[in-house]
Amino acid sequence: MTTFSLLLTTSPLASQSFASALQFCNAAVAAGYQIEQIFLYQDAIFAASAEIDLPADEPNLSQLLAVFCQQNHIPLLYCVTAAEKRGMLDPGSSFIGAGLAEFAMRLTNSKLVQF
Amino acid sequence: MTTFSLLLTTSPLASQSFASALQFCNAAVAAGYQIEQIFLYQDAIFAASAEIDLPADEPNLSQLLAVFCQQNHIPLLYCVTAAEKRGMLDPGSSFIGAGLAEFAMRLTNSKLVQF
Amino acid sequence: MKLISLINPEITIAELATLCDKGDTLLLRQDAVYLARRSDIRWPCQNVTVLKSDLEVRKITPTTGISIIDDAQWVELTASATQVMLWQ
Amino acid sequence: MKLISLINPEITIAELATLCDKGDTLLLRQDAVYLARRSDIRWPCQNVTVLKSDLEVRKITPTTGISIIDDAQWVELTASATQVMLWQ
Amino acid sequence: MQHIAIIQRQSPYNSSGGREALDLTLALAAVEHQLTVIFSGDGIYQLLPVNLNNDFSLKRYQQGFKLFGLYEIEQLYICQHSMQQRQIQLKDLAFAAQQLDAIALQQLLAKQQQIVCI
Amino acid sequence: MQHIAIIQRQSPYNSSGGREALDLTLALAAVEHQLTVIFSGDGIYQLLPVNLNNDFSLKRYQQGFKLFGLYEIEQLYICQHSMQQRQIQLKDLAFAAQQLDAIALQQLLAKQQQIVCI
């Protein structure tokens, strides 16, 4: 059965991409598929800090995604190189810093879906 | 003589906008113009945190802009509402958090240039 | 069969056409579902589908020839496609 | 005279044309200077200018009819325009 | 007090542009600037209906357009060319604004002191 | 090991896309994936010359294209349609790649296992 890798590249506030990725993951897990990784690249890395400090009335897609990944044991990774270029320090959230090499290796046995 | 207000909306890494704004400011100040404010809105607010922690080999436009504003006594403001929506806490940099109302009031006697 | 997702209503069909086969499937999602209203677009693929939830939140009725799929079908299409591509 | 800056080479001239007068000035800056190479674009304004520093870093020679301005002239144009607008 | 035009060019959920341009519009109107809002290009999709009853995890910020009256923002326009190109008619819109052709839009912009394009 | 195509669609300095797509390409090649890079749309502007001698405060990352050989990335292509539309000829490019028409591009993509579009 297919295993998916997800790649996100836009910031959680910018667009519907985080919501769509979560929607896809829910349906994929419900249908019995495995998810190898969710990898945040480019501006998507800002989700790692957005998880922590959003106002209460703001939809917190970063947090929803983090909770989903925790419950389903899915590695939720953000690219440390992309984060460095943006001056984002490890915010100590449930997102895990990883290199592009880790993304590349995890890709090997999975099918990439870009959001 | 005209006084300018500058509005930036994209993140410093995303595009050439910070570099262009700085280039415009340099030429404007050299020609004797006043700059009322530089206001960072939408993803441009990420400059406030990027100023501090970029790798040494990365062009630091946020810092260059901050130094320029300090030397020329130009208010360098970032929108606190836009920052909150993105989960960015005050990074304690030389960028000053301000509301959209402050931008709106400072606009009154100046000419807006968007970057 | 490539599965190509469109998420933006900006029309770049001419460029997209260079990259897609007649037999590929286009999936309109997110704000690209606004394109499902239009009858004047000459899609470069035979199969054009649109995601149900994205249609519903925007209260759109797709034009004839565009089929509607739900989340489960989206996952199946993705799993069965030979390549998956996001057009952005 | 409105001063309208283009910073992106994406062609949205038809939409831009609805917002700009013949007498306005278009300024090509940043990656929009790539458009200065092209002779096939029908600009919606009579005055089309391009920023010298952005041309030089991209090693571009503009087509005839497009004038080159430096930073000081950019500031003067901005100060003298009745409206300043960024097309993005 | 200045005459300021905000040009809304982004579709509603492909960027934060639409929502943050609205915030900006209201904030500028609140300090007595005279606002004009122009929906152009994919920005006109912001005026189409949004379903309030189903599951959707982004803010349906278009509800905020109802605040225009409260802020005395009455100059609301749509680019006719953009409407035609997208096969959208006035009756399709959930939030009404006046359609203008290119000449009327140019005249409108000529009356402004500031223009913001998002 | 997989066959992966990266489609470069952004102009060089209007977004971080070009630069970060390059980083991604090299990282994927470093762990033995077979990379194909396709420049399409405004992405072909990345292949035009950059002046290394004047003042410019962004990274001229296009120098990194020279690393393709080192990483054994030899499948470098340009969309012919995009070139023609932008009046760009092969002799204008600072970095060479092979022009392909629509049919050849489609055949190329059909051979891939993964496609990333930035």
Per DSSP, E13 falls in state T
Residue D48 has pLDDT above 90, yes or no: yes
For residue range B63-97, list pLDDT tens digits in order.
Answer: 999 999 999 999 999 999 999 999 888 777 889 99
Partnered with residue A40 across adjacent β-strands are A8, A78
| pLDDT of B62 higher than 80 | yes
Q: Where are the alpha helices (DSSP H) in A31-88?
A: 47-50, 61-71, 80-85
Mean pLDDT for the stretch of residues E41-67: 96
For residues F56-64, average pLDDT? 94
Give helix A100-107 / helix F17-30 axis angle, nearest 10°: 60
Q: Taking all residues of chain D, what is their mean pLDDT, rounded to a whole number? A: 96
Residues 6+ apart with CB under 8 A from A105: F31
Nearest CA in chain D to B2: D79
What residues form DSSP beta bridges with B37? B5
Q: What confidence tens digit (pLDDT) does each residue in A27-45 have?
A: 999 999 999 999 999 999 9
Given B54, B58, B87, which is nearest A52 (Cβ)?
A: B87
What domains does chain B contain, in order, with CATH numbers? 3-114 (3.40.1260.10)
What is each CA distance from C39 to C17, C33, C64, C86, E87, in whole angstroms?
A: 18, 13, 8, 23, 8
| pLDDT confidence bin for B55, thresholds 50/70/90 | confident
pLDDT confidence band for D68 (50 / 70 / 90): very high
Asked if A26 lies within 8 A of C71 by C-beta distance, the reply is: yes
pLDDT band at residue A90 using 50, 70 and 90 as cut-offs: confident
Say yes or no for a CB contact (<8 Å) between B19 and F59.
no
* Cβ-based contacts of A51 with chain B (< 8 Å): 87
Give the separation between CA B38 and CA B34, rounded to whole angstroms. 11
Q: Is the pLDDT of residue D83 over 90?
A: yes
B29 by Cβ neighbours in 10 Å (0-12 / 13-18 / 19+) ranks as middle
Q: Are C4 and C27 in contact (CB under 8 A)?
A: yes
Q: Which residues of D touch E101 (CB under 8 A)?
A: 18
pLDDT tops 90 at residue D6: yes
Q: Which of D74, D79, D86 is nearest residue B114 as measured by Cβ atoms?
A: D86
Element (H, E) at A30: helix A17-30
Question: Residue C40 burial by CB count (10 A; 0-12/13-18/19+): exposed, middle or buried?
Answer: exposed
Which pLDDT score is estimated for A55? 85
Say whether pLDDT at D9 is over 90. Answer: yes
Other chains touching E, judged by 3 or more CB pairs under 8 Å: A, B, C, D
Strand bridging mode D83-87 / D2-6: parallel
Write down which chains contact chain D via at least 3 CB pairs under 8 A.
B, E, F
- Chosen for mutation from F20, F22, F33 (greatest number of chain A CBs closer than 10 Å) is F20
Poorest-pLDDT segment among D8-22, E15-29, E94-108, F75-89? D8-22
Does position E59 have pLDDT exceeding 80, yes or no?
Answer: yes
Q: Which residues of F touch C15 (CB under 8 A)?
A: 40-41, 79, 81-82
C41-85 pLDDT, tens digit each: 999 999 999 999 999 999 999 999 999 999 999 999 999 999 999
DSSP-derived secondary structure for F102-115: HHHHHHHHHT-SEE
Mutate to test the interface with C, among A10, A16, A29 (most CBs of C within 10 A): A16
- CA–chain centroid gap for E91, Å, is 16
Q: What is the mean pLDDT of residues E34-61?
A: 96
Q: What secondary structure does DSSP assign to E67-82, as a single string?
A: GGTTTT--EEEEEHHH
**D7 pLDDT more than 80:** yes
Residue A48 CA to residue B45 CA, distance in Å, equals 16
pLDDT at residue D31 is higher than 80: yes
pLDDT at F113: 98
Stretch E42-61: mean pLDDT = 95
Confidence at B48, pLDDT banded by 50, 70, 90: very high
Alpha carbon A31 to its chain centroid, in Å, reads 20
For residues F96 and F113, what is the distance between their CA atoms, to the nearest angstrom? 25
The residue type found at D60 is I
- Alpha-carbon distance E115 to A111, whole Å? 46
Q: List Cα–Cα distances, E107 to B8, B53, D5, D19, E110, in angstroms.
A: 27, 47, 19, 9, 5
pLDDT exceeds 80 at position F73? yes
Nearest-Cα distance to chain C for E91, in Å, is: 14
The pLDDT of residue F24 is above 80: yes
CA distances from A65 to A12, A26, A51, A70, F91 (A): 10, 10, 9, 9, 48
Q: Is the pLDDT assigned to residue A66 strictly greater than 90?
A: yes
Q: Please check the confidence at residue A51 and state whether its pLDDT lies above 80.
A: no
Q: If you average pLDDT over residues E22-41, what whole number do you get?
A: 97
ipTM: 0.96
CA C20 to chain centre: 12
Q: Please tell me the predicted confidence (pLDDT) of residue E40.
A: 97
Question: Which residues, in sequence order, are CB contacts of C59 under 8 Å at separation 6+?
Answer: E48, E49, E50, E51
CA atoms within 13 A on the CB side of D54: 34
Please answer whether residues B88 and B47 qualify as being in contact, where contact means their C-beta atoms are separated by less than 8 angstroms.
Answer: no
Note the Cα B3 to chain centre separation in Å: 16
Enter the tokens of residue D50. 């391009």
Instruction: Share the mean pLDDT of chain A.
Output: 94
The residue among E43, E75, E48 whose CA lies nearest residue E60 is E48
| pLDDT of res. B30 | 98
pLDDT given for residue A57 in this prediction:
85
Q: In what order do the strands lie in the sheet with E75-79?
A: E98-100, E75-79, E34-39, E3-8, E114-117
Helix residue spans in chain F (DSSP H)? 17-30, 80-85, 102-110
pLDDT digits (tens, 9 = 90+) for C10-36: 988 889 999 999 999 999 999 999 999
